[in-house]
């Protein structure tokens, strides 16, 4: 089996991946990993395992470029430059995919489901329940950005989506306390980003069964659980000052199969932080 991928092989995998991404954004079924067999037949020197890894590399490139990824292919960041260049070239030519992504991140959000909210909780990506956070991974070099639009950051400005994610988290918190037999405490949970204003560094003030406070910041995306989220300086500072009581609720795949995972404590410890913007003042 040849070690180096040809440009024809790379383009074949990227083309199939982009077709899946477009279908996923339109809410259509695409078969996911079941398509690997058909791709392996077209690329008769490549195994399904190596093709899957290449798809995961494509996911990592797209996230570095500010685009969503196909959810069943969690990002594998250590990709090579020829793949990054090929993905960038394909994005530049695929204006329909760009329009589809732009529409998706700006679309208003429907109200969240209210049934079985506690069943929506999952472990954080890459970990089984109770595991320690995964070790830091060496990041690949970020490919050149072809324009100034980061669609993942743009999604964070969708106030409808943010609000509906918070509404879901509020329902989850009340259900959590009810399940613990703390109905009185459930009635005290406050949506502080609405009642007191956005800017406290958290969105919901909840309680533990023993009556102690739980500070909750909600981050919502329509995309997969490994989509990066954006943190303000205030949120980071509050997560450090209140680290024992601070929780980040990551609501993901909103609108298709809404799920939630929780990060507890200081965000600097719970996440790998990447600076994306600096304030510059003339000397």
Please give the pLDDT value at position 132: 47
Cα 128–Cα 130–Cα 136 angle in degrees, nearest 5: 70
Cα gap 83→3, rounded to integer Å? 14
Please give the pLDDT value at position 125: 86
Please give the pLDDT value at position 2: 57
Contact (CB, 8 A) for 10 and 83: yes
| Segments of the chain with pLDDT less than 70 | 1-3, 127-148
Q: How far from the centroid of its chain's Cα atoms is residue 267's Cα?
A: 15
Please give the pLDDT value at position 48: 93
Cα gap 244→174, rounded to integer Å? 20
Q: Where are the alpha helices (DSSP H) in the chain?
A: 7-25, 36-42, 48-64, 81-93, 95-106, 151-155, 159-179, 183-186, 192-195, 233-241, 267-270
For 190-231, the pLDDT digits (tens) are 999 999 999 999 999 999 999 999 999 999 999 999 999 999
Contact (CB, 8 A) for 158 and 106: yes
- With 0.75 as the threshold, say if the pTM is over it: yes
Residue entry with tokens 């400005």? 157
Please give the pLDDT value at position 65: 93
Please give the pLDDT value at position 203: 98
Please give the pLDDT value at position 135: 46
């Amino acid at each position: 089996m040849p070690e180096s991928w040809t440009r024809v092989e790379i383009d074949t995998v990227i083309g199939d991946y982009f077709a899946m991404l477009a279908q996923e954004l339109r809410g259509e079924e695409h078969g996911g990993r079941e398509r690997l067999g058909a791709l392996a037949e077209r690329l008769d020197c490549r195994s399904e395992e190596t093709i899957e890894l290449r798809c995961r590399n494509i996911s990592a490139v797209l996230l570095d470029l500010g685009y969503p990824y196909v959810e069943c292919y969690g990002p594998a960041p250590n990709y090579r430059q020829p793949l990054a260049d090929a993905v960038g070239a394909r994005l530049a030519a695929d204006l329909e995919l760009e329009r589809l992504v732009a529409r998706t991140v700006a679309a208003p959000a429907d109200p969240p489901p209210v049934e079985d909210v506690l069943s929506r909780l999952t472990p954080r990506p890459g970990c089984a329940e109770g595991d320690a956070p995964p070790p830091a991974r060496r990041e690949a070099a970020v490919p050149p950005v072809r324009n100034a639009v980061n669609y993942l950051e743009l999604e964070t400005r969708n106030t409808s989506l943010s609000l509906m994610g918070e509404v879901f988290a509020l329902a989850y918190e009340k259900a959590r306390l009810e399940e613990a037999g703390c109905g009185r405490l459930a009635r005290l949970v406050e949506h502080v980003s609405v009642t007191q204003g956005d800017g406290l560094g958290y969105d919901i003030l909840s309680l533990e069964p023993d009556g102690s406070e739980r500070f909750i910041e909600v981050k919502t995306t329509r995309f997969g659980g490994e989509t990066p989220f954006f943190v303000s300086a205030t949120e980071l500072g509050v997560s450090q000052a209140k680290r024992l009581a601070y929780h980040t609720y990551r609501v993901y795949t909103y609108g298709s199969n809404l799920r939630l995972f929780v990060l507890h404590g200081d965000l600097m410890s719970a996440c790998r932080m990447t600076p994306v913007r600096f304030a510059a003042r003339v000397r």
